[in-house]
Structure 1
């Protein structure tokens, strides 16, 4: 299922997910505000530089594909996107919830948790 067939998240969310799919780390990092926060796998990354390093590390740690399976608008600034991730990591398949918080400048927070 492609992201365009889901509920329509804002452009910055689509841009981030598309950049990750293309392995365009710079474009993915630019979707975040300078003071953004990412929480993933028990670690917190603060600021665009730390987030850029996280993107680089997480994109090369394992070989995987991700497919968005749901997108839900919680309110004007909060979106959840469920991604099915399949690849060469322990377990091989996981559904992850990407909880985005946005403002006019971009993604201010991303919290990733297993569904």
Structure 2
């Protein structure tokens, strides 16, 4: 098993940085372009496969709440796997959450994203 290495958030691949910025801005069309056609996203016990389902996820996840997102850390697992640590603060239950976004890249596109506490 590969041990993740802490890096500065600016060292995340451009695809991941672009996705995170677009997702935080709720720019679903730009965020969607970061994904491979057969990509998978897992969040809160649900799995979304392919860009049609991922678009639904991007439009609906957290849409009922107002919140801010701050990138607070990053790790490189290997050449294809990266983790971003994100702090969300808003009017959702609990008000604050720290989530790990675990990315697997296929070339310059996101093949898999798993979001978990």
TM-score normalised by structure 1 residue count: 0.91
Q: Secondary structure at the match of 2:61?
A: helix
2-structure distance, mates of 1:61, 1:33 = 27
> Within 5 A, what are the aligned runs for 1:1-115?
6=9, 8-114=11-117
List alignment gaps of at least 5 residues for structure 1: none
Q: Secondary structure at the match of 1:95?
A: strand
Root-mean-square deviation (Å)? 1.1
TM-score normalised by structure 2 residue count: 0.90
2:5 aligns to what? none
1-structure distance, mates of 2:66, 2:52 = 23
Q: Secondary structure at the match of 1:60?
A: coil
1-structure distance, mates of 2:26, 2:11 = 22
* Contact preservation (8 Å) 2:41, 2:54: yes
Structure 1 segments of 4+ aligned residues over 3 angstroms from their partners: none
List alignment gaps of at least 5 residues for structure 2: 1-7
